[in-house]
Amino acid sequence: MNPYPYNPEDEYDIEPLDRQLRVTPMFNECDLALPAPLRKVLPSRLYRIFLPGPDHRKVFDTAYGLMLEGMRNRNPLQAAGESFLYSDGSGENCGAANEFGRIATLIGPSGLGKSTAVGRVLSSMGHQLIKHRDYHGQPFHETQLLYHYFKVSENLQPADIYLHAGKMAGQLTGNTFLKLMPGARRSLSDKRDYCRMVLRSSHCGILVIDNVEYLFRARDNVKEQALSMILHIRDDFGIPILLVGTSEAYRYLASDDSVASRFIEGGYLEITRPSSADDAYWDDMVRALWQWKWVRKESPLTDTIRSKIYEYTAGVTRYLMVLLVQAQILAIESGYEKLDEVSLAKAYTLFMKPIHPIVTGLLTNEPQIMRKYESMYADTTKLLKGYAEPVIGSSAAEHIKHLGAHLAGLRNGPQNGKTPTTAPGTA
């Protein structure tokens, strides 16, 4: 597990943590000399970036704290760790462990990057799989699953989650218990025992369950089973849990005080939609994204453009990425070669039509849109053109054939008196 990143000269400096979380796109000024059919696929790199903000730092702190606390008494070379590892969960075999995992909950509307943030936080903590060989000079051959991320799909029953979560953990670690996996028709208790056995023997640091709203959307009896499952993992497995869900999951938690108190004991985190173009994190993100442009003509980020970007996206991160990517692709394909009000407006009109009602409703706080946002987001986002059209067939072969010549020309300097265009924002 990676140590917590901090500046020893300034313990309140957030830059070391931001640097560990941040992911920026691959960008080189030589890219601008590529022919348009090749260059237009490059803006889609923006989909893979991650720019941390205050909410993301809180997610990191919460997950990091849960993992440290959860593993504190689980060293298998010590008595407490052995008791935890070999107890059956009820404490009858090796004595009560006197430890249980805590539950933290992360809530936020779809499209703001919750799952992306959680994935980045987990990966920045260290390799998911750690193969130990020694511990303070003692031979210690164990494989540890630092974190286990499980995404719930619609109509998945709690019994299936036990089975699939255990199977995934076993496959990742090569756990010998994998061959003991119960069949689909076995009882709920058999599947729960199998999952506990695999996760404990894998020394799992934290279990992340994403899309928990699907569990709470089910029938009442399934909903109760889901609640029971989460509490079993906390109490009997002794493994910390981070639940990730939408506002729909929040409404379920808020409806029952006893449920809410148990699901936020490890922390309650919320990622909210920026309320205006002047939101500090939103403004920083827009300014950062504006630096990475694969169009050949430079254009400044004016206040008018900033306002238009918010008007076309309503502060939804996913929509922001689609807008900037498609506007650049459109500008490259048409030869306009400029990212400005014109190309942004065209991209919004041509490629983002399915989400126009959502964006308008969010900007005006229309009650019906606010109430149905999650279902509308799921239905319309898959209709967006989320990536550049790939160059295929003989055309691709022809472009690739000339790519080497273009790069060779860049390495050898200007040819025929022409100088390759420099990258936006560079000298």
Using the 8-state DSSP alphabet, how is residue 353 labeled?
A: G
**Res 244: pLDDT:** 95
User: 290 in helix, strand or coil?
Assistant: helix
Q: Dig out the tokens for 347 from the structure.
A: 């991209």
The pLDDT tens digits for 252-283 are 877 777 777 888 888 999 999 999 999 999 99
> In 72-121, where do the E strands start and end?
103-107
List residues bridging with 132 in a β-sheet: 142
Has residue 176 got a pLDDT over 80? no
Has residue 393 got a pLDDT over 60? no
User: Confidence class of residue 81 from pLDDT cuts 50, 70 and 90?
Assistant: low
Q: How many angstroms separate the CA atoms of 36 and 329, rounded? A: 9
Q: How many angstroms separate the CA atoms of 209 and 214, rounded? A: 11
Could you tell me the pTM of the whole model? 0.81
Has residue 100 got a pLDDT over 80? no
List residues bridging with 142 in a β-sheet: 132
Q: How many angstroms separate the CA atoms of 50 and 41, rounded? A: 19
Q: How many angstroms separate the CA atoms of 106 and 218, rounded? A: 20
Of 85 and 400, which is predicted with more confidence?
85
Q: How many angstroms separate the CA atoms of 244 and 113, rounded? A: 11
Has residue 10 got a pLDDT over 60? yes
Has residue 223 got a pLDDT over 90? no
Over residues 310-317, the mean pLDDT reads 97
What percentage of the chain's residues is helix, strand, coil (to nearest 5)? 55, 10, 35
User: 340 in helix, strand or coil?
Assistant: coil
